[in-house]
Amino acid sequence: NDPSLCTHLVYAFAGLGPDNKIKVLDPWNDLCDNYGKCGYDRFVKLREKNVNLKTLLAIGGWNEGSTKYSQMAASESKRKIFVDSVVALLKKHDFNGLDMDWEYPTQRGGAPEDQANFV
């Protein structure tokens, strides 16, 4: 519980919704709404103990798979929807950035074009 030991901390995980927007996977734990546990807010407040700390929100992970990320990355309009939603959520909760944990481009239902589309 000592945020001075790190330069960056990553909160895991958010997901990708069917609308190609970033999605809160556990609203009760992550948000303050409806007497939630305010996980996002408590996490970013760790910067009060270490002003140099950067807090990131991770999206993806093993459970999210690859198929929907592949479909999103293949379309310029879907990528725009995704990016706009990510920026809005990060700003709303005061995160410093995003960790894109897409496991794994070109595999697990992905497409050969994933690598180029991801970059």
Whole-number Å distance between alpha carbons of 21 and 113: 21
Structure tokens at 113: 């074009």
Number of domains in the chain: 1
pLDDT tens digits, one per residue of 98-117: 999 999 889 998 999 998 98
Active site residues per annotation: 103
pLDDT tens digits, one per residue of 16-27: 999 999 999 999
CATH number at residue 88: 3.20.20.80
No. of helices (H) and no. of strands (E), the chain: 5, 4
Task: Please give the residue range of the domain that contains residue 101.
Answer: 3-118
Q: What is the model's pTM?
A: 0.92
